Amino acid sequence: MPKLGLGTWPMLGDECTDAVVQALELGYRHIDTAAGYNNEAAVGKALEQSRVAREQIHVTSKVWWDKLQPADMRASFEATLHALRSDYVDLFLIHWPGKDWDLAKTIETLVSFKEDGRARNIGVANFPLPLLKKVVEELNAPLAAIQVEYHVTLGQTALLDYARQHDMALTAYSPLVRNKVSHIAELQQIAAKHGVLPTQVALKWLLDQANVAAIPKAASQANQQNNLEALKVQLDDEDRALIAGLPKNQRLVNPDFAPQWDA
């Protein structure tokens, strides 16, 4: 999975198609979508329109948390493939833990998508560590990735350690804290030192970490290009020490169906 991807929420319709086509043209090869974003068809249209071959692009999609009964999940997965105009998806995730669900049956269904080849890899998103451990160690699911909120002001040390021990990628969502990083004085200071942008500092800090990928959402060509160029930024120990000193408890995404994070 390329370490830098394009997030697509909350883009819809033509805006989403155009942004994905443009990103692929600029050099992105990793696109993040989900059934819950109502934009898989727009992404599918972009995959078809793009000059970049489908096999060269990593596409992640996800099943919403109220579709985790096996029959619902199969129907949702098939709708995802249909919308993406593809007979496979590179990575398929459970978007959030379910409520009153049969975890073993849900995971068995997820694993079946990998076994039949229609999901090249499988994973989960927004699972707290104890639930992730259960899926990996008790249910023996061959997970390749966990996607969670992770950025300069939200730590994920325990999940990241676990991901590394189990050879999983950790995909950082909201990596720019929805552009709030542009207003953090320490990031402005590091950015000024290197003649780059605070957003690029925030992204490179993530991308420099082993097993970490990041999926900033950007609609405009300028923002997409700037985010791509973050890969060229060189941070030093002094920069990393300054970022380490920022608060690490600033969670942004916490809907009412979220799990208990520290469970």
Ligand X SMILES: NC(=O)c1ccc[n+]([C@@H]2O[C@H](COP(=O)([O-])OP(=O)(O)OC[C@H]3O[C@@H](n4cnc5c(N)ncnc54)[C@H](OP(=O)(O)O)[C@@H]3O)[C@@H](O)[C@H]2O)c1
Active-site annotation, residues: 37
Q: Which helix (H) or strand (E) holds 130?
A: helix 129-133
Q: Which is nearer to ligand X, 34 or 117 (CB)?
A: 34
Decide: 158 and 261 in contact? Cβ < 8 Å.
no
* Residue whose CB is less far from ligand X, 115 or 221: 221
Residue ranges binding ligand X (CB under 6 A): 7-9, 32, 95, 125-126, 147, 173-179, 182, 199, 215-220, 223, 226-227, 253
Q: Which is nearer to ligand X, 107 or 170 (CB)?
A: 170
CB of 194 to ligand X, least distance (A): 15
In the 3-class helix/strand/coil scheme, how is 95-115 assigned residue by residue? CCCCCCCCHHHHHHHHHHHHH
Query: The dihedral of CA 184, 189, 192, 197: what is its sign?
Result: negative
The minimum distance between CB 213 and ligand X, in angstroms, equals 11
Residues near 152 by beta carbon (within 8 Å), at least 6 away in sequence: 177, 181, 184, 187, 202, 205, 243, 246
| Alpha-carbon Rg for the chain in angstroms | 18
Please give the residue whose beta carbon sits closest to ligand X in the complex: 7
Q: State the minimum distance, in angstroms, from the CB of residue 199 to ligand X.
A: 4
